[in-house]
Structure 1
Amino acid sequence: MTTLFPKPIIELPEADIPIKGITAYLSQGENHQIIFMKFEEDVDLAEHSHEEQWGIVLEGKIKLTIDGVNNTYSKGDRYFIPSGVKHSGKIFAGYADMTFFNQKNRYKEK
C-alpha cells in the first residue's frame, strides 16, 4: 500500500489492536478515540459490541453486518454502529479507514 497517511498521523502512537496485518495510529481525546487504520491482510471480525463507532472508508472495502443487516462499504462510504449493537464483518487486504470510537479507552498505545 502506498503511503496513505501524512506525517502528523504516522507520528501518532500506534494502537495496540490484536489483529494480524493491521497498522493503526491512535489519536486520544478526553472522551473518545480516533483510529487511523490500514490492513495488509484479509481479516474476519467476530460478532461483538461496544460504544458508538463511526467510520469513513479511505481505501478498499469492508463487509459489515450491523444488527443483522449486511452492507459492503468502499472508498468514500461512511458507516455508523450504535452503542451496544452487535456487529461482525470481513475486512479485505488494502482496506484503510478513519474510525471514531465514542469511548476513551477502546484501545491502548503499543
Structure 2
Amino acid sequence: MNPYKVSQNDTTHGTDGEHHLVRGERSSMRLWHREEPNADKPEHTHEYETLGYVIEGRVDLIVNGETVSLQPGDSYHVPAGTPHTFRVTETLTAVEVTTPGTDK
C-alpha cells in the first residue's frame, strides 16, 4: 500500500454515513454523505477539533446554542470540547478534517 495515497476501496465506513479517508500524523479526513434528515441527533462533544466544508446540500450546525445554517461553499469550525449537533435539512455531502485524527 502506498503511504501517500488511500484508494476508495481502502476507506472505512462509519455508522452515521461517514467515510474515513486518509489519516496523517496529527489529523484525519472524512467524507460525509447523508441522505435523510436527522433532526433527532443529540448534542454532543468531541475531544478533537473539526474543520469542514459543505460540497452540496444543506445542514444546520447548532454550536453552543447558536444555529448556523450551512450551504454549498460554506466552511465551518467546531472547537474541541464544544457542545454541538448537526441537523441535515437537504441531502448532504461534506468533507471534514479532525485534529487530532479520529476514526469516529
Off by >4 Å, runs of 4+ in structure 1: none
Aligned to 1:83: 80
Q: Comparing 90-99 with 79-88, which one deviates more in the overlay? A: 90-99
TM-score with structure 2 setting the length: 0.80
Structure 1: 5+ residue runs without aligned partners? Answer: 1-7
Where in structure 2 are the equivalents of 1:28-47 lying within 5 Å?
A: 28-44=23-39, 45-47=41-43
Whole-Å separation in 2 of the counterparts to 1:9 and 1:79: 26
**Using a 3 Å threshold, how does the CA distance of structure 1 residues 23 and 81 change in structure 2: closer, same or farther?**
closer
Is 1:10 the counterpart of 2:5 in the alignment? no
Aligned to 1:48: 44
Letter of the 1:30 partner, please give it: E
TM-score with structure 1 setting the length: 0.76
Structure 2: 5+ residue runs without aligned partners? Answer: 1-5
- Contact 1:39 1:92 (C-alpha < 8 Å) held by counterparts: no
CA deviation digits over 1:42-83, x for unaligned, max 9? 223311111110100000011011111111100000110111
How far did residue 106 of structure 1 move?
Answer: 3.9
